[in-house]
Amino acid sequence: MKRGCLKSKSAQISIFIILAVVVLIIIGIFFYIKSSFNIENFNKFRLNNVEKSIVDCVEQTSFEALDVIGVQGGYYNKSDKAYELNRTFVPYYYYEGEYFMPSKEDIEKELGFYVDDNLNECLDRIDIESFELFYEVPKSFVLIKEDDVNFKVDMQIEVVKDSEQSVFELKEFPVNIKSKLKDILEVVDYYIYFHKQNPARYCVNCLGELAEEKELYVDIVAVDDNSEFFIVSDDLTSEEVYSFEFLNKYTGEEVDVVNLVGGENNLPESPVGVEG
Mean residue pLDDT of the chain comes to: 81
Classify residue 33 as left (phi > 0), alpha (psi -120 to 50) or beta: alpha
Higher pLDDT, 100 or 266: 100
Structure confidence by residue, pLDDT tens digits, 149-165 = 999 999 998 888 777 78
* Spatial CB neighbours of 226, under 8 Å, sequence gap ≥ 6: 249, 250, 251, 252
CA terminus-to-terminus distance, the chain: 105
* Spatial CB neighbours of 53, under 8 Å, sequence gap ≥ 6: 126, 128
Q: How many CB atoms lie within 10 A of CB 91?
A: 21
Q: Band the pLDDT of 37: cuts 50, 70, 90.
A: very low
Alpha-carbon span 78 to 81, nearest angstrom:
8
The separation between CA 167 and the C-alpha centre of its own chain, rounded to angstroms, equals: 22
> In this predicted structure, what is the pLDDT of residue 47?
55
pTM score: 0.78
Q: Are 25 and 103 in contact (CB under 8 A)?
A: no
> In this predicted structure, what is the pLDDT of residue 19?
62
The separation between CA 181 and the C-alpha centre of its own chain, rounded to angstroms, equals: 13
Alpha-carbon span 10 to 77, nearest angstrom:
90
DSSP secondary structure code for residue 99 in this structure: E
- The three-state secondary structure class of 250 is coil
Percent of the chain at pLDDT exceeding 90: 45
Structure confidence by residue, pLDDT tens digits, 226-255 = 899 999 999 888 888 999 999 999 988 888
Q: Are 168 and 159 in contact (CB under 8 A)?
A: yes
Length of the chain: 276
80-84, 94-98, 204-208: which range is least confident on average?
Answer: 204-208
Alpha-carbon span 37 to 93, nearest angstrom:
62
Q: Are 44 and 129 in contact (CB under 8 A)?
A: no
Q: Above 60 in pLDDT, residue 34?
A: no
Domain residue spans of the chain:
1-74+102-178, 180-276
Percent of the chain at pLDDT exceeding 70: 76
Q: Above 90 in pLDDT, residue 202?
A: no
Q: Are 185 and 197 in contact (CB under 8 A)?
A: no
Q: Are 267 and 257 in contact (CB under 8 A)?
A: yes
Whole-number Cα distances in Å, 195 to 102, 206, 265: 15, 11, 16
> In this predicted structure, what is the pLDDT of residue 206?
78
Higher pLDDT, 191 or 36: 191
